[in-house]
Amino acid sequence: MKYQNKPQRYFVTGGAGFIGSHLVNRLIGSGEVTIHDDLSSDRKEFLQRHLGNPNFHFIQADLLDFDTLNKTIANHDIVFHLAANLNVRAGITNTKLDLQQGTLATHNVLEAMKVNHLGKIASRRAMEML
């Protein structure tokens, strides 16, 4: 199902992950999809089926690298932010982990959207329309 009638340019952080990759499978038929993922989960298998598709773009980069994010996010219509630290227990010993991978990474996404004049980030309502 298309989110809108005209082809959209989707930007999916964490698109190589479990949730993000399933979302990409739904989006790819209705526009161009860029995945921005550092592969810190060390899983590439979710990406394999789309490699070679001209509507699929994969950027391997950390969201904490703002300069790269600021370039790759440009010229997209909708942002889905699904990158996250899933190793919750590690936060007990590395107390910066969730601050960096949650708060700072999300701040970078929002800041890059602001700089690039992007106005649409996924909401639950948007996800329900897919």
Ligand X SMILES: NC(=O)c1ccc[n+]([C@@H]2O[C@H](COP(=O)([O-])OP(=O)(O)OC[C@H]3O[C@@H](n4cnc5c(N)ncnc54)[C@H](O)[C@@H]3O)[C@@H](O)[C@H]2O)c1
Decide the pairing of beta strands 78-81 and 56-60: unpaired
What's the min distance (Å) between Cβ of 14 and ligand X?
Answer: 3
With binding defined as CB under 6 A, does residue 31 bind ligand X? no
With binding defined as CB under 6 A, does residue 24 bind ligand X? no
Q: Please, which residue, 19 or 55, has the CB nearer to ligand X?
A: 19
What's the min distance (Å) between Cβ of 83 and ligand X?
Answer: 4
Q: Point out the residue whose Cβ comes nearest to ligand X.
A: 17
Q: Please, which residue, 7 or 70, has the CB nearer to ligand X?
A: 70
With binding defined as CB under 6 A, does residue 20 bind ligand X? yes
Paired tokens of 100: 């960096």
Q: Which amino acid is at 101?
A: Q
Q: Which of 54, 53, 58, 51 has the alpha carbon at shortest distance from 35?
A: 58
The 3-class secondary structure across 19-62, one letter per residue, is: HHHHHHHHHHHHEEEEEEECCCCCCCCCCHHHCCCCCEEEEECC
- Region of 4-12, 24-32, 62-70, 119-127 interacting with ligand X (CB under 6 A): 62-70
- Region of 3-11, 50-58, 79-87, 111-119 interacting with ligand X (CB under 6 A): 79-87
